[in-house]
Homo-oligomer: A and B are copies of this chain.
Amino acid sequence: MSNVKNLAKKAKIAARTLSVLDTEAKNSALEAIASQLLADKETILQANGKDLDNGKKMGLSPSLLDRLALTSARIDGMVEGIKQVVELEDPVGQVMETWQRPNGLEIAKVRVPMGVIGMVYEARPNVTVDTCALCLKAGSAVVLRGSSSALNSNRALVSAIKKGLAKTAIPEDTVQFVDSEDRGAVDEMLRLNGLLDLVIPRGGAGLIRRVVENATVPVIETGVGNCHVYVDVDADPGMALEILLNAKCQRYGVCNAAESLLVHEGIAANWLPGAVQELNTRGVEIRGCSKVVEILSGVKKAEDSDWATEFLSPVLAIKVVKDFQDALDHIQQYSSGHSESIVTNNQNTAAEFLRQVDAAAVYHNASTRFTDGFEYGFGAEIGISTQKLHARGPMGLRELTSYKYVVKGTGQVRP
């Protein structure tokens, strides 16, 4: 048996023990992990130092090196994150619905753990700790495969996690780490039907595509966000500007940032010049449709591909639309189904936007940047789903669970 398959088998066996532990047992195991991470801080930082050295030799960009870097404070942050997960309500065992059938059968729909969750992720070592905390609290074992650039850091973090678990009711085997730089190990992991119940990719578009294309186990696709802000003719101009600047500029490299602005032509000539001036001040490059170029000389003309691009950088595509329907059509054509926002004081227009736009999150008079597990009050987030199956938008603990039907009878048979 290959190494990866063997790890997954161990995880599946351990998951059975984990699945029936009560909340207290799971919480005290999480506390033990937190303590061990603090106790092993020096070892973890040393391991991270090796990764940083290797990364510099490999010529990683400063921003990638920053994402890779651990500090004492960042480890404290991970520990803080675990403590927050301890505080969260345990979804396992929650009764979602109950009903009785005419034949007397009593049916309950009950939340249960997913089983074994595979996580394939890039760069940031904190994902290792966050994922373990969330999956364990949700009652599932986890098979982790991080990027090779963080191999030493992840190895040290997993070692601390397992040392922590060794003293608790959660079996060490519930956390498995694919300790290999071989890409073939990922492909094998993605095809472990019967052992993995779910794989979640977290990283860039390339990683996510690779996982979606190669997996035969169920996948939740995450992350790609080509989000729009639509400023309607009935928008409050000041509010529209604030929402736009927040959605575009509060952070550039995130999936819930705006990539395109749509402006109703009835407000464009008055509102757009001031808005673009503010964007320019912040260093945002504009790519406009022909009408934008007419209104604002010197603005670069957008290519067709710009409307479909998740820039993840200080670039914004702007289009003047002739009416609400034109805005809807554009969004329907180019949206990645992540987060879409309308700014308007017209309640009817807003209602139609919220009803007709097909995205994980639709906003009226608020920034797209709110699509986030913490901002929604889930207390945590393992990723943002951009597919419609199982979970859509921010995924917290509950979205990491499945359910089963528990049926009680008194000897009923089917006629």
Q: Contact between B376 and A413 (Cβ–Cβ < 8 Å)?
A: no
A368-393: CB near B (< 8 Å → 1, else 0) gives 01110001110000000001111011
Say yes or no: is A60 at the interface (Cβ < 8 Å to chain B).
no
Q: Contact between A392 and B402 (Cβ–Cβ < 8 Å)?
A: yes
Q: Contact between A218 and B216 (Cβ–Cβ < 8 Å)?
A: no
Known: A193-B212, A212-B216, A216-B212. A364 touches B405 (CB 8 A): no
Assembly CA distance A101 to B367 (angstroms): 14
Assembly CA distance A243 to B246 (angstroms): 62
Q: Contact between B388 and A197 (Cβ–Cβ < 8 Å)?
A: yes
The residue of chain B having its C-beta at the shortest distance from the C-beta of A367 within the complex is B413
Most buried by B among A99, A245, A363, A414: A414
Say yes or no: is A306 at the interface (Cβ < 8 Å to chain B).
no
B contact residues around A247 at 8 Å (CB): 413
Q: Contact between A365 and B246 (Cβ–Cβ < 8 Å)?
A: no
Q: Contact between B358 and A404 (Cβ–Cβ < 8 Å)?
A: yes
Q: Contact between A369 and B414 (Cβ–Cβ < 8 Å)?
A: yes
Give me the interface of A with B, judged by CB distance under 8 Å.
16, 19-20, 99, 101, 105, 107, 112, 114-115, 193, 197-198, 212-213, 216, 218-220, 236, 239, 242-243, 245-247, 250, 332, 350, 354-356, 358-367, 369-371, 375-377, 387-390, 392-393, 402-414
9 nearest A-B pairs in the assembled complex, by CB-CB distance: A366-B409, A246-B413, A388-B402, A390-B390, A218-B389, A369-B414, A239-B411, A361-B405, A366-B412
